[in-house]
Structure formats: C-alpha cells, structure tokens
Structure 1
Amino acid sequence: FGGRILKKDDKTAKYINSPESEIYHKSNELYGIYFAKQAIAKYDKCYLVEGYTDVLSMHQAGIENVVASSGTALTHGQIRLIHRFTTNVTVLYDGDAAGIRASLKGINLLLEEGLNIKVLLLPDGEDPDSFARQHSASSFTEYLKANETDFIRFKTDILLKEAGDDPAARARLIQDIVESIALIADDITRTVYTTECSRQLSIREEVLQKEVDKRRIQHLRQQPVRERVARTGAPSGSNASSTLPPASQWEEPAPTQAPPPGFTPEPPTSTPDAYQPIEEGANQGSASVRRKLEALEANLIRYIVRFGDHRLFKEETPGPPPGIGVIEFIQRELNEEQIEFTHPVFATMLTEAIEQSVRPGFKPQRYFVNHPDATISLVAADMLSDPYELSKIHTKYATLPEEAEQLDELVPRALLELRNGVLEEIILETESRLKRAAQEKNDNEVMDLSTQLMALLDVKKDLAKTLGERIIVRQ
C-alpha cells in the first residue's frame, strides 16, 4: 500500500502510496495507530510524524505514542482518529523547507478539529527516523520535551523570518496568523492565542481580536450546520439539515416610511423558512403577520448581538455609568408591554443576553458567535455581517453616520415596531373571532368584540402616527 525511498534523492518522491481502493482509504488511515493507541491514551499525547520509518525508529527508541500520516497530506479523517484518544498533539516534521511548509499546512486542520497543538522542527537535514537512530531513548525524549513549542510562537517566528522588514509581507503574515487563530473553537484558548500573537507582533490586541472575529464569522457562514453540529454536538431544538442562507436572502418587513437623510439602512431581519415555527394550518393572513413579527424580533436580537454592550441616552441620564444598557432597556420595555418573543431561537437568545449582561465585560458578539448551539451561532454570525454597501455615487457625495451613533433612535423605534406588530396580530385574531361570532349570531359577543376592536384600532392609529405610517381608515 505504500513505501519510502531508502536513499536520498531530491528528484524522487520520498513516499509512494498506492491508489485508493475498496480495502484501502489512505485518507482515513494512520500508520501505527493500532500499536500506539494505548500509549497515546496513557500519556494523553500523540506525536504525529510523516512516514513509516519515522514511526519504526521512534518505537525502537522507546517512544510508542507516535503515528504517521503515511507520507500524505493530513486529512480530517486522520485527525479524528487521533481525537478519539487525546486532544494533545505534537507535530514532528523534517527540518527542511518542505517539512516547514507541511507543518504549517497541517496545523490549520488540527485546529479545526479542536486539538491542542505543539510543533517540533528537527535540525536541518534530519527527520524523526535519522534523529531517533542517532540518539538514545532518554536523550530523544528529553529533546522532545525541551524543544516542542506552541504553534503560534512557532508559526509567527517562521513567518517573521520570511517577512523580514517588508511591511506588505508583515501584513500578510498577520492575516495568516489570524486565519489560524480564528479556527480555534474554544473562546478562552482563542483569546489567549490572540494575546500572545499581539505581544510577538507588537500590534494592539483589540485590532487582532477584531480581525479574528471577522474571520470566524466568515468561517461560520461558510460552514454547513451539519459540520458544526458534528464538532459541537447536536443543538437542542435546531434544524441541522441545511445551511443558513446569507443575510441577503432574508425577508425584511416593508418600510413604513422613507428613511430620513443620513439614515443607515437596516439589514434584512427575517428568519430562514427552515427555522420559522409557523403553526400548521395557519391562514395566509396570520402566517404573514407571524412572519413579520418574527422579522421584528430578529431586528431587536440583531441590536443585542451587535450593540448589546453599548449604552443609550448617555446625555439625558447621568451616571456613573451614564445612560442605560441596550439589553437592559430592551428588557424593561418588553416587560412593561408584556411582550414575549414567539420565535424559539430568538427567545433563547434574548433570555441568555439578559442573564449574561449582568456579568462584567460581557461581549454579546463573541458570546453568541461562539455559542455551542449551532443554530444560534450561525444566526449571530449572519447578523454580524453587513450585506449593504453604498453605491458609488453615495460614496462620492455622502457619508452616512455609523449605526452605533443612532442607537438612541433606532432601538426605541425597533421596540415600537415590534409593539405595532404584536398589536396587528391581536387585531387580526379579534377580527377572526368577531367574524365567527357574527356567523353564529351571538349578538352579545359581537358587541363586546366590536368594542374591543374599536379600542385596538384607536391604539393602532396612535402608534402609527408615532411611527410615521400612513393611516388607512376602514370604511
């Protein structure tokens, strides 16, 4: 199934593998895993090398927790085999340029699977096979312990040497490092690596963190839900059979008035059909109102995810701290109006945001993007992306203010629109009951419901004036 050249020849491939067959799938095989698995579990560590003779020589040197990728590029299937026995991996590669490139390429795959990675680069011209034959078991073990290094420090050192004093090369280096850090699933581990990278590269941590969050959002939006569920566990109450559509495909309720000059357009705020819990048998009118209501709930959740750590009305309400938090304000207004979210995903996100907001340093963007529930994580990632871009003419002649600068107006308006949506649902339900009462010729109920409906329409009319809607008087 595979072989290794025994003499050094730069013009000949070092390893040769037979093609895939019904009995051999090299992408799912690790050489030596059968003999190494007990030692891997015992020491909670796996040494990963490139070829067969590397494994043989290290076993002879007394190091049994070692496996090889059989001279092929590392695959997800091979990594998952390791993950069954440990989360700690030290990658050993040759000290030549090809070995360095191979180690950097394989690290990202290991990170995606949630493993803790260390790297050991052998002296130039050596591979684990030759190095093991030149050293005793004890000296080889001591060398491994003394020279293995964290992957971030290793990768940064290697790329810094390549970049030199070239600013463009350093910029590419930072993007490369950010790409690797963004693949780490654990929030705490990712933050630690960001801090370490900031120190090594002499760049502000908040700048790096922002770039890491951007890349993570991109990865989450591109990643099928089923893949994320496979890594994080099946989320409760989520549909894991499809990917989340991009924000540009979400349905947005029709605007009630033209936005004023300088107003930043809001992104789409509805939910994908796969996640809409429309009741079976609902008529077209009620289903349309429910979809609009869920879109309005999504709009509020979007403000929580993007701006939940901001404060409103800081000038009107002196502190310390001045103003009121976005999440606290939304919670207070919903409680006063006795409004509860109808969509289960948004209801869960609201509840958790309220619970977490009392914790110092709570960052809703990071919390929800890294949420263990795949559906919540992907919804948050979509809400954090901005599908809108100014046209060239607007870019040339106008500058729209940042959305964060208008939260004092936007958040209260979003709450009023939700209240209006709830009112429309109640009016629709009351009209339906009134129709049934009239068909049944129940005069007393018709009178009571007519009075209720008139009162609701009066409230609707007042609310519409506040929102700036056109009022259509029913004849």
Structure 2
Amino acid sequence: MAISNQTTDKVRERVDIEEVVNDYVTLKRKGQNLWACCPFHQEKSPSFSVSPAKQIYKCFGCGKAGDPIQFIMDIEGLGFPEAIKHLATKYGIEIEEDKNLDPVDIQAYNEKESLYIALNFAKTFFHENLQSGEGKSIGLSYLKERGFDMATIEKFELGYSLDGWDHLLNKARTSGFEETNLLKAGLILERENKPGNYYDRFRGRVMFPIHNLSGKPIAFGARIMTQDKKQPKYINSPETAIYHKSDVLYGIYQAKQAIRQKENCYLVEGYTDVISMHLAGVENVVASSGTSLTENQIKLIKRFTDQVTVLYDGDDAGINASLRGIDMLLEGGLNVKAVVFPPNEDPDSFSRKAGKEGFQKFLEAEEKDFIHFKIDLFTKGAADDPIKKAEAIRQVVLSISKVPDPIIRSVYAKESARLLGMEEDILLTELNRQLLKNQQKKSPSKFQNEPESSPIEQLLPGSPAEETKKTGPRSIKEERELIRILINYGFEMVSEEMHVCEYLLEEIKDLNFDTPIYQELLNHYKNALREGTIPKFDYFLKIQNPKLKTEVIDMVAPTREISQNWESKHQIFSRREADDLPETTYKASLKLKSAYLKRMRDELEEKIKLAKEEELEELLTMHMELTQLKSKIDRELGNVIPSRN
C-alpha cells in the first residue's frame, strides 16, 4: 500500500535526527555536531557524525549517510514505505493511504494487514500458553531443558500450542476473527469433504515464531512434543501473501544489528541452533530453517554484511550435501568462511557443552576461508589417488569461478595452486574453461556461432580487456566541486543582483558533465529552478535515489570542525570558503573549464597522430589555441605551468 505524500511530508517535518539516532547509539556533542561510534561497523574511535542543523548523519569510516528516514532504512533493513510507517508510529502521525490507488491494490494491502493481525494474535496466544498447566509441564519444561532462560524465550517470543483440535480457533472466534482470515494465515485447516469445518493446524507443539525484518510474526515453525512417529518432528506454516519461505531467514530480526556491528553473519540450519548461539553470546546468526539456501535469502544477508561464516554439523555426508550453498553465497558476492563442529555435534549441542567462552573461542580458532575448507574436505585420502586429487581441483575451481570479483578470483586461484602443490598456470587453464562454461550458461546465444577456441582470456583478471577498461571521466573532481558549491551556496548572493547558482550556471551553460551522477544532480537543480525554487541540500534528500542522497550528504557533511576555543580564547581566525563566495565560485568554474580544455586537447592529440597530411595544419592550429586558452586559465588560478601540462 502506497503512503500518501501528505504522510511522508508530515514525517519529514516532525522527525528529529537526534531523537531517531539516540534510540540506537549514545550521541555526544562536539562543536555543532553530535558524534558516536558507528552502529553500522565496528570502530573504537567515533567517526559517526549527526548534524541536528541539517538533519543528516554521516559516518566517515564506512560511508553510510542519509536523513532520519534513510537511517531507519539502514539500521532496520526496511524499505522506504516501512521506514515511513515506523517513524509515523513513533511520532504519533496518522498514516494516510494514497487514494489514487487501484481498488485491487487496496484489497491486497488490507488482506495482508489482516494476516499480520491474525498471526500476531496467534503469537501472543501461543506465548501465553506457556503459563498454562499443560504449557508449563510440556512446552516450558522442554525449553528449559534446552537451556533457554526466560529472557531468551521472551526475546524470540517462543510459545506452545495446546494439544487439542480447536483451542486457537475458539479463542480467535471469541476475539472477533473470521475463519477465512485464520485459514489464509495458515493457522487453521479445513476438514476434507466437510466445508466450513475447521481445526487448528498446530497442536501439542513448541512454537517458534518467524519474524520479518520489522519484527512482525509472519509464520511459525512448530516442534512436536510426543513420540508419534506418524507425525513429522517439525511442521511450518504454509506460504501466504506475507510469508514466502525462500525470502526469509529465521532470526534475522534479532540478529540484524549484531550482523552489522560484527560485519559477519553466521549461517546455521535450525531454530534451536540460532537460539543456543544467542545464549552463548553470539547474536549475529540466522538459519535457513531446513530449506535449501535461496538467492533471495543471500540478498537479504548482503543487505547487512558481505561476510558469511557457514557452520556445519560434524558429519561429512551433511557437509557434502550443503556445499552448493557455498557456491551460491560466492556467486552472490559474499566472502565465505566455514566452521566444522566435532563429530556428532551441532551449534546447539556444542554451545551447551563448551560453554559461552569455549564456544566463542572455538568459532574463532576453527574458522577457515572457503578455499582452505574445500581443499581440506576434498583432499582427504586423495594424496595417493590422482583421480581424487583431480576431482578436488575441479571442485575448488568450480567455487572460485562463482566469485564475481576478478581480483578476488585471481587471489583465490594463486592461493589454491599453492595449497594444492600445483602450477598456477594449470589451475588457471581449468578456471578459464569453467568461466567460459558459466558465461555460456548465462548467455548461450552469444556463443552459438563462436568457435571453441574463442578468446576466454577476456574473462580473466589481468587480461588486456580487464586492463583497458575505462577509468572514468577526467573532470570528475571538478564537476563534483561545482555541484558541491551549488548545493551548499547556490542560494547565497555572489553580488548585489546575482545568486551563486545564476553565476555558475551561466558560466557552464555550454558544458555537459561527463559523470552521470553529477549530470543527474545538475538536472535536478535546474528542474527546481524552473519550478521557482533555489534548492538547498534538503531538496535532494527527498529524491528516491540512495546514491544521489549519499553523494549530496558527502558534499554537505563537514569532515572537520574548527574549535570554538580556537577563535574565542586564542584569537586565531581561520578563513572559510564561505567568507569569499565570489572567489570560490569563480575558481570553481575556471577549474572545470581547465579540466575540459585538457580533455579536448588530449583528444585532439590522438587525432593528430592519425591525421592525414592535409589535415595537420588545421589540427595543430586548434591544438595551439586550446593550449594557450588553458594556460591563461591556469595562470588565473595561480597554477604552476610546466612546459607540458
């Protein structure tokens, strides 16, 4: 459901960056800004800055930046509409829907909201059941046997479904819920051949609520408490309008902050593995909940970190069955490590046996990057078996070929050759072959008419194709500086009759920026002027483009502050660029023109190298004129002009 622009505007007007950020970190004032250790990465010295005056934050360590809405999106892992709802709830702002939506969309939204309400009701009902007679003797006693204390039970909102056919159904009916909503939420089932005859899906089981990123229950996992072999040990909610198991990781809501702070995510299989690791002091952990790892789950992890450590139970069969997950993680652009537990142990059992400190030390000591892990796994007993060793090499190369970054791929190839005791060229040949296969699978049509000996070197790091990639526009620094001045000072007067923006835009009216992001910002600036507004930095924060917003904040966030004591106590005054805006804007336009002239002259020199004799005189004349004009500008800027600049 789209939120109305009026609601979004109210949120922007009412929220305060200091209040929002203070819910997550403790801010301390230093000068005009507030500082803290960044909540998005580990650091000892504060580099996370909040500007109450500008209502923005900026970390000079990891680069995270934005306004209050972006902060909630970053810290909670939410999309824009969810972040607006989060802040509207915090500030008591009524959420208005966009009335221009299609009735079908409104109906779908209302249905999802009804499912959230029903599942939250069920979560509370199951949780409260732990205090009933049956719940205490069966459900709560089981959880305590597993070592789960009450704080952990509350944290994960664990519960118990009573052993009967309609306990939840009857309670929900008396609370005003319709059977159709309970059925759509996956909480009840309809008896075959008996329309309208319903019963509870979950009966006599310990309940594990599955939360979305904002903490709402969207499904349940349920473990049976009896020895009934006809019943599966675990059952899960069916897929619904709000629950798609391939998009969800168990424990992500409880783990997301720790994942960011530790810059690593532990990946396990089951619910109890996650909870036991929290008890052992390791909170940056999620589970795939017994399903095969999916692309969407990998994307979810990557929203919080680029590093994953996969934890394996200590049995080779289980490890081999799960190896595809490592290749998928690598293909998703994640850095992968692995830990293997002793035989017959898993994260749950081993954490209870080793204790908190012992468990954490074990994880640190046994962690291996995927290359060492896979080579160790596949070379067991292969020392005297050439066939097995060749297969080990192929398996390692298969994983390396999944890594999208060519530099990292090259490093892994070199390290693998060293560990396997083989020549690097041989391993690279096999890697080339595998890279080509991967490319053919992705784009088969591109290879249909090509011979087998096509130049696969283009796919490899260090190849000529890799080395001759464009390095980007040469005027990027000057373009950025001009946009920075426009955003920071465009509304100021450069003379009695002219704004800074009017002067600069007139000076560059014949120039098109080479750097797309700066050209886009320039277009936004000009659009605002056409609408009768000289935009300040907050205008750009409303643009729904994270890259643009981050770039703007980088331009307006001060990297340092001059101490007030410097001037008030010591009478030492520093010159600021705003003190002489005519000089600042004039030089910014000259520097951009100088950069453009240099590029034009360099392009002309390339033409001269290839020119015919009859074209040379004209080209050389143009070259001389460009050089003279650039030299004049450089002298005006006070640059030292060497014999060839």
Q: Which has the higher contact order (CA 8 A, sep 6+)?
A: 1
Please identify which structure carries the higher strand content. 2
State TM-score, norm by structure 1: 0.48
State TM-score, norm by structure 2: 0.36
The higher radius of gyration belongs to 2
